[in-house]
């Protein structure tokens, strides 16, 4: 079973929870750490023979075009994380259209490849923006990975399908992986849960999805999660600081365990370019 590994390419100061401390108007004045971190990720993926999908911010791509070209050159999928990392639920339909169109154009121009996939910042597709998938279709995207079917205080659509499906818009939606245990969806697809829980919990849940459900897993992480030396924002709330900084020093070693325990590939090759049965919703 080949699972889908995904990287949300954003820097530490672009995280939604830290937005009050790093207004977008001041981003250019903040030293970026993303290039070094992505270089380490690419080297690790090469070492383990793994491929991944890199959901990349257009804002970063414009400033670090070599990073984008290196992702493509190494054989990974280049996909969109929007332009300015603004939650889809915080935008009007028109503003969202402009953001995803600009991001796609920037990434394709720099990367020299078609960008077919999109992931909303903070998985911000919900019943508050039912037009979001239609917008992706209008701009020319093929798939989305913007829904996380879990209960969470900032995102989540717990009643959504757990596995990839064809949305009525014609967009393929590829949710981040959950494990169904005791009648509830449990987050099994990475992010803060990967850092907070023991590694064995993530391994067990992915194995369960592979074996019991017979499905590939979709896992995600961020470049800043392998960077324990990033600047600390002491003014952030205790809850935000815990979520953002917990176990950063362990993430890289856990990621290597993950790469050794499972096979990993690109979203497009697993779900689009091979025969994969999708549910219609």
Alpha-carbon Rg of the chain, whole angstroms? 17
Entry pTM:
0.94
Residue 9 in 3-state DSSP?
strand
What's the CATH architecture for 2-280? Alpha-Beta Barrel (3.20)
| Average pLDDT of span 19-48 | 95
So what's the pLDDT on residue 256?
Answer: 98
Is residue 104 within 8 A of residue 134, CB to CB? The reply is: no
Mean pLDDT check: name the lowest of 81-90, 107-116, 144-153.
144-153
**CA–CA gap between residue 46 and residue 44 (Å, rounded):** 5
pLDDT tens-digit readout, 205-238 = 999 999 999 999 999 999 999 999 999 999 999 9
Confidence of residue 274 (pLDDT cuts 50, 70, 90): low
Q: Answer with the residue of higher pLDDT: 16 or 29.
A: 29
| φ, ψ for residue 137, nearest 5 deg | -60, -40
Give the best-scoring range by mean pLDDT among 8-12, 244-248, 277-281: 8-12
Name the nearest CA neighbour of 76 among 9, 11, 175, 6: 6
**CA–CA gap between residue 280 and residue 255 (Å, rounded):** 33
Polymer length of the chain:
281
Mean pLDDT check: name the lowest of 145-154, 176-185, 251-260, 271-280.
271-280
DSSP per position, 53-97: EEEE-HHHHHH-HHHHHHHHHTTPEEEE--SS---GGGS-HHHHH
| Average pLDDT of span 52-59 | 98
Please determine, for residue 196, whether its predicted confidence score (pLDDT) is greater than 80.
yes
Task: Give the start-to-end residue ranges of the domains of the chain.
Answer: 2-280
Please determine, for residue 163, whether its predicted confidence score (pLDDT) is greater than 70.
yes
| Average pLDDT of span 79-104 | 96
Please determine, for residue 148, whether its predicted confidence score (pLDDT) is greater than 90.
no
**CA–CA gap between residue 172 and residue 272 (Å, rounded):** 9
So what's the pLDDT on residue 164?
Answer: 94
Confidence of residue 135 (pLDDT cuts 50, 70, 90): very high
Residues linked to residue 7 through DSSP beta bridges, in sequence order: 54, 221
Residue carrying the six token digits 């362990």: 250
So what's the pLDDT on residue 182?
Answer: 76
Confidence of residue 275 (pLDDT cuts 50, 70, 90): low
- For residue 144, give the DSSP letter: E
Mean pLDDT for the chain?
92
């Amino acid at each position: 079973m080949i699972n889908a590994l995904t990287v949300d390419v954003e820097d530490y100061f672009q995280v939604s929870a830290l937005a009050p401390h790093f207004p977008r108007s001041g981003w250019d004045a903040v030293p970026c750490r993303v290039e070094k971190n992505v270089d380490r990720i690419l080297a690790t993926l090469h070492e383990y023979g793994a491929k991944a999908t890199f959901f990349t911010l257009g804002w970063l791509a414009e400033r670090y075009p070599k990073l984008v070209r290196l992702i493509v050159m190494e054989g990974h999928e280049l996909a969109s994380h929007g332009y300015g990392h603004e939650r889809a639920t915080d935008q009007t339909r028109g503003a969202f259209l402009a953001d995803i169109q600009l991001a796609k154009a920037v990434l394709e121009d720099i990367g020299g490849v078609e960008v077919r996939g999109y992931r909303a910042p903070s998985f911000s597709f919900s019943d508050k923006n039912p037009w979001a998938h239609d917008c992706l279709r209008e701009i020319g995207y093929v798939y989305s990975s913007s829904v996380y079917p879990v209960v969470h205080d900032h995102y989540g659509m717990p009643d959504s399908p757990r596995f990839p499906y064809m949305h009525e818009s014609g967009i393929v939606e590829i949710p981040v992986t959950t494990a169904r245990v005791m009648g509830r969806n449990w987050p099994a697809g990475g992010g803060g849960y990967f850092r907070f829980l023991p590694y064995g919990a993530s391994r067990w849940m992915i194995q369960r999805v592979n074996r019991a459900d017979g499905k590939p897993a979709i896992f995600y992480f961020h470049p800043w999660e392998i960077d324990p030396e990033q600047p600390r924002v002491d003014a952030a709330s205790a809850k935000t600081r815990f979520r953002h900084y917990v176990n950063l020093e362990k993430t890289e070693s856990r990621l290597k365990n993950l790469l050794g325990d499972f096979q990993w590939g690109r979203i497009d090759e697993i779900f689009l370019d091979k025969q994969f049965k999708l549910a219609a919703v």
